[in-house]
Amino acid sequence: MFVLARAVTYAALFIAFVLVFLPARILASSGIAGPTTIGIAQVLGGVLTVAGGALAVACAFTFAVIGRGTPAPFDPPRRLVDRGPYGWIRNPMYVGATVALLGAAIFYWSWALGAFALGFLAVTAAFVWLVEEPVLRRMFGAHYDAYCSRVGRWWPRRRPPAVPSN
């Protein structure tokens, strides 16, 4: 139960800072207020924001339940998380957060917020390649390598490649 409380706390802090506080600051500094009417862009943006946020939250719960840890780098999972959203792509939390940010950019029709979303994706991609993947390889070894061969980093694969038999 304690691991679930930690995961919820870290997820709430991540979501509050990256998906709420920073975008609000960007919108305020750009002088953008809420839309005066609700049109297709607001509906599409709202759907993307909710879907991306829900995926990010689902990932935090998956980390707690399957991995017995949290998404926070200072409190990582004790087991490799390769089910749930992580059975489809290796980085669904970052994808969900990026989709939520892009949805907000569409909702507000904000190029600044769109640039923030793409910057967020670039920073997380660099973090994944330079830090996360090497750490996961050291922690989980062949199990992680097999997972990488089955599951795409950013996009789902149509069919997972055959697992080599040694």
pLDDT of the residue at 165? 46
Which residue segment(s) compose the domain that 49 sits in?
Answer: 2-150
pLDDT of the residue at 33? 77
Contacting residues for 81 by C-beta, under 8 A, at least 6 apart: 62, 63, 66, 67
Q: Indicate the pTM of the whole model.
A: 0.82
Number of domains in the chain: 1
Q: Is residue 80 part of a domain?
A: yes
pLDDT one digit per residue (tens) for the chain, 166 residues: 666 676 667 767 777 777 777 787 888 888 877 788 889 999 999 999 999 989 988 888 888 888 887 777 777 788 999 999 999 999 999 999 999 999 999 999 989 999 999 999 999 999 999 999 999 999 999 999 999 999 999 998 866 555 554 4
Residue whose C-alpha is closest to residue 61's, from 4, 2, 1? 4
**Long-range contacts at 5-10 (CB < 8 A, ≥ 24 apart):** 6/64, 6/70, 6/72, 6/75, 7/60, 7/61, 7/63, 7/64, 7/69, 7/70, 7/71, 8/60, 8/61, 8/64, 10/60, 10/70, 10/71, 10/72, 10/75
Helices (H), 15-165: 22-30, 40-65, 92-108, 111-127, 133-150
Q: Is residue 162 part of a domain?
A: no
Q: Is residue 163 part of a domain?
A: no
> Tell me, what amino acid is at 70?
T
> Tell me, what amino acid is at 108?
Y
Q: Is residue 117 part of a domain?
A: yes
Q: Is residue 56 part of a domain?
A: yes
Q: Is residue 78 part of a domain?
A: yes
Q: Is residue 121 part of a domain?
A: yes
Gap between the Cα atoms of 152 and 102, Å rounded: 21
Q: Is residue 76 part of a domain?
A: yes
